[in-house]
Amino acid sequence: MGEEPIGEPRHGHLLGRLSRLTDPAGFFRSDGEDRAADPLVAAHKAHFPKADVRLLRYAYTVAERYHRGQTRKSGAPYVTHPLAVALILADLGMDTTTLVAALLHDTVEDTDLTLGQVHAEFGEEVAVLVDGVTKLDGSKWGDRAEAETFRKIILAAAGDLRVLVIKLADRVHNLRTLRFHPKPEKRRRIARASLELLVPFAERLGIYVFKREMEDVAFACLHPEEYERTHAAVVGSAADRAARLDPLLEQLRKALTAAHLKARVVSRDRHLYSLHQDRRTPPIGPADPPRMGEAARVTVLVDGDAADCYVALGAIHGLWRPLPGRMKDFIALPKYNMYQSLHTAVVLPGGEALELAVRTPRMHRIAESGIISQIQDAAQASGTHARQAAHRADLQWLRNLLAWQAHAPSAEFLDSLRVDLRSAGIVTFTQAGDVVPLPAGATAIDFAYALDADTGHRAVGALTNGRLSSMTAPLEDGQVVEILTAGDGGSGPSEAWLESARTGHARVHIAQWLADRHAETAGLAGRRLVADALAARGENLLDLEGDGTMLQLGAEMGHPNLETLYTAVAAGAVTVDELTGHLTAVQQREEDDTGR
C-alpha cells in the first residue's frame, strides 16, 4: 500500500525455503544485501532478545529481490519503503510475523510474487496479513476500488487487527516522504484521506503515536501557512513555558511524595494540529503564542495500581483547585480504544488552567500504542498468542462497522465510514448500564440502531434519563437512554430519520428499510395497473399468477420474479401495452402447442 513504484519489478523465482538459509555467513553475507536489514533486526531483538530472525532476514531478501528495479518518488530503491514500515513497527515492539508481513506488504500488489507463493514460503498467518493490506486492482474495480479496498481491510481486521496496524505504519511512512510526490493535488488528497480515514482508525486502536504524527504531517500539507505559524509560535515560546511550568511540576512532585506515592511527573507540548483545532480565533502565531495551559500536557505516572491513581488525583486537587465538570474517570470507564487514565483540570495561581492525566506506566503504554502494546505483551509471553491478542471481538466500534458495511453500496460506503470513525464524542448508557459510545450530535435513532437493527426499525420514541424525548434530538454525554418500540405492525423509520441519523450503522439500515418499502409500494401500484389492464381484456390476474403464466411472462421479459416485474411497470420501464402484447404472444404460442 505504498506509493506507486517507478520502474518494472525484477521477475524471478523465490530464493528457496528457509531451510536453505541456516548459514548466515555463507548465504546472507555473500552479496551484502542483508546489511540493510541489520537495523530492523536490532530493533526487533531489543524487544524480543530470543527472537529467531532468520525468517525476518529472508523476508527482506525476498522483498529486495522482487522490488529490484523499482524506485520511490524520492529516487530511493523501492524496498526502502517496506523496510521503513517494518522498522516503525519493530521500534514499537510488534511480533516477528507482523514484521515479515510488513516487509512483504507491497510485493503481491506491485510485483509478480503471488499470494500463493507467500503462503507457501512464509505460512498462512503472513499470507493473511499481506492479503489484508493489498489494494484491489483499480483497473478492475474502477471508481469502487478505494471503497472496496477499505471494506476489505475492515473485514480482514475483524480477524486480525495487525492488518490495520500494518496499514497505519504504511501510511505513516508515506506521509513522512509525502514531500517527494511531484503532484500537489495528489499530496493534498493523500493528506485529506489520512485525516478522514486513517487517523480515526489509529485513534480507534489507541495508537496515539501514529495519530499525532499523521495529523501534524497532514496539517503541514493541507494548511502550510497555518502550520508554519503554529510551529514558530510553539518553538518560540517553549523556553518561557518551561520556566513557568518547571516550578509547578516540582511542587507537584513534593505533594505526591507527601502522599507516600512513587510517581514520575512528565510534560510534553501538545502536537500542532491539536493546538490549531482547539484555538482558531485568534489563530496561534508568534504574535499570539499558546498559553502554558494550552500547550502543555502534564502526566503523572504512578508506580502502583489503579487505587494509587485516585490517591494521586487527591494530592493534585489538594494542591490546586479543580475546575468543576472537568474530571473524567477513564480508569473505571475505559475509552472504546482501551485507553485508561484519570483526567482533571486545575486552576493555577494567577488563574490559568492546566490539564493533567494520571495513570500507571502500563496504562501509559496503552495510551501511547494501544493494541500494539497488547500484541507485544502476548508475543513476549508466547509468540503463538500474538494472533489471539490481535483478534478483539469485544471492540464495539469494530462490531458496528461489520454490522452495516455489507449493506452499504460502494458509492456511500466511504462517506458512512467517515461518519462512523469520527471520535466517539459521547458515552451513553442502556438501563442495564451497558455503555453505548456515539459520535457527538448522535440521536436516539443512532442509539436504537446501535442496539440492533430490529430495535431501530420498531422504535417509536425514547426516554432519556427517564423523561420522554424526541428520537431526533441530539443526545448528551452520560445520558441513560431507553428506546420505546412498537410491535411488528409499527410504521418503521422515515425519511426524516435518515436526515437525523449520524452513524453509518443507522443510516445504512434506514436507507435499506426505506428502499425495501418503496419497492414494495411500487410493486403494489404496478400490480394494480396490470390487474386493471387484464380486467379490461376480460382476464383475471389471480388466475394468470396461479397457473404460472405471469411468472413465465416476467422471466421472458428479463424479470426473475413478479415483484421486479410489477415494480418495472410502476416505474414505466415496462408499459402495460408491452406487457399485454407479450402476454398475447405467450398465450398464442401455448394455443399453437396445444393444437399440435
Residues annotated catalytic, as ranges = 109-110
Tell me 572's DSSP state.
Answer: T
The two counts, helices (H) then strands (E), for the chain are: 31, 11
Residues in CB range of 78: below 8 A, 6 or more apart: 2, 5, 6, 7, 67, 70, 71, 72, 106, 110
Rounded Cα distance, 90 and 60, in Å: 14
CA 426 to chain centre: 18
Residue with cell 423523561: 467
C-alpha–C-alpha distance, residues 149 and 139, integer Å: 13
What count of residues does the chain have? 596
Residue 460: what are its φ and ψ, rounded to 5°? Answer: -125, -10
Q: Which residues contact 565 (CB under 8 A, 6 or more apart)?
A: 526, 550, 553, 554, 557, 559, 574, 579
Q: Is 237 helix (H, G, I), strand (E, B) or coil?
A: coil
Distance CA 529, CA 206 (A): 58
Q: In whole angstroms, what is the distance from residue 570 CA to residue 528 CA? A: 9
Contact 301, 367 (CB under 8 A): no
Residue partners of 306: CB distance under 8 A and separation at least 6: 331, 360
How many CB atoms lie under 10 A from the CB of residue 425? 14
- Residue 3 and residue 81 in contact, taking contact as beta carbons nearer than 8 Å: yes
Residues with Cβ within 8 Å of residue 131, at least 6 apart in sequence: 108, 115, 156
> What is the rounded distance in angstroms from the CA atom of residue 552 to the CA atom of residue 318?
83
Q: Cell numbers 524480543 correspond to what residue? A: 48
Round to whole Å and give the CA distance between 86 and 40: 7
Contact 332, 359 (CB under 8 A): no
- CA trace torsion 193, 173, 213, 92 (10° rounding): 130
Cα distance between residue 441 and residue 104, in whole Å: 42
What are φ and ψ of residue 374, in 5° steps? Answer: -70, -40
Whole-angstrom Cα distance, residue 128 to residue 116? 11
594: CB partners within 8 A, 6+ apart: none
- Cβ–Cβ under 8 Å, residues 481 and 429: yes
CA-CA-CA-CA torsion sign (284, 288, 291, 297)? positive
What is the per-residue burial (b if ≥16 Cβ within 10 Å, else e) of 173-193? bbbebbeebeeeeebeebbeb
Q: How far apart are CA 520 and CA 282, in angstroms?
A: 55
401 Cβ contact list (under 8 Å, min separation 6): 154, 417, 420, 504, 505
